[in-house]
Amino acid sequence: MSAARRGSLGRALTLSAAGGAAVYVAIACYVGARDVGAELAAFSWRAAAAALGLASLNYALRFAKWELYLRRLEIRIPLGDSLKIFLAGFSLTVTPGKVGEVLKSFLLRETHGIPMARTAPIVVAERVTDLIALTALALGGVGVLGGGMRLLYAAVGLVALFLVFASSRTLAHWVIDLAARLPAVGRAAPKLREFYSAMAELVRPLPLTLATALSLAAWSAECVAFWVVLRGFPGAEASLRLCTFIYAAMTIAGALSFLPGGLLVQEGGMVGLLVSLAHGVARPRATAATFVTRLCTLWFAVAIGVVAVLLVRKKSAVDLATIGAEK
């Protein structure tokens, strides 16, 4: 990885962390920093440890999905390398729609020479199966609202449109051929066809079903983590069904907002729904619970991703040195 690219990644991580800190400080000041601090002081941090374990389970299940997709495309790399590259993608989780996770495709190209056009569809397929799973989880608890289905309808509609497009080779090639007439796109047409070919393979019924099942289990673990965190506050009560709905629906809202990491949208939505729907959860407690949950899910993932990026960079430097010595 070049010095310029390392600098760009470092700037992105710094801006992400600064943006997240600014959002949380702003929310805490709006709600009442002293009241939020008092809630955090009363919190049982054992619940946070359990939430970290559940978040880790989420990552393990999503890594299994990553491996499923790699094998579906007949890409074979050492399991340790695959794990580090997968986790490195978390370093740019705080990007609009998590598009920064395409870093995984870049690292596969840099370390193993695999074209990005062949592996970038995996990142898209990951997001689609995550959206399907989160929508299913949210629909399971939507009755607690007695309405409010527009967000979920939008998610279902986006997934349906994507699957129709990805499953129709004739439609996809027609769109690619049409786009190829544009001066800026024409040269990329062969790469777009390669991209589509890999995507069509990933959305076949069997891999789509298996990947969605893994996503469903993975995101269920984080919904449970939110419930566990809330129970760590004395006197806070909310059903697992309600917590599942809030976490899943607001994760979808954050993703569709295309704000980096869903910041502010997801936090604000989780706080608002907790105050409106949970018994005995005032705004300071809802804010504290949301902060702890996001620390254990979002920012824990980013921290793991940064470590993984450093490990990948270290290994790449060793490989390059070895190649240079052989020459």
Least confident of 8-12, 189-193, 196-200, 292-296: 8-12
Least confident of 12-26, 56-70, 214-228, 239-253: 12-26
Element of type H or E holding 220: helix 205-231
Q: What is the pLDDT of residue 23?
A: 84
User: Is the predicted pLDDT of residue 285 greater than 90, yes or no?
Assistant: yes
Look up the pTM and report it: 0.88
Of 206 and 142, which is predicted with more confidence? Answer: 206
Q: Are 92 and 305 in contact (CB under 8 A)?
A: yes
Residues in the chain: 327
Task: Write the pLDDT tens digit of every residue in 112-145.
Answer: 999 999 999 999 999 999 999 999 999 887 665 5
Q: What is the pLDDT of residue 215?
A: 98
CA distance 222 to 53: 10
**DSSP secondary structure letter of residue 96:** B
Q: Are 303 and 3 in contact (CB under 8 A)?
A: no
Of 58 and 16, which is predicted with more confidence? Answer: 58
Q: What is the pLDDT of residue 288?
A: 96
User: Is the predicted pLDDT of residue 2 greater than 70, yes or no?
Assistant: no
Tell me how many helices (H) and strands (E) the chain has.
Answer: 15, 0
Total of domains in the chain: 1
Chain mean pLDDT for the chain: 87
Residue linked to tokens 């998610």: 155
User: Is the predicted pLDDT of residue 12 greater than 80, yes or no?
Assistant: no
CA distance 16 to 19: 5
Range of the domain at 300: 3-326
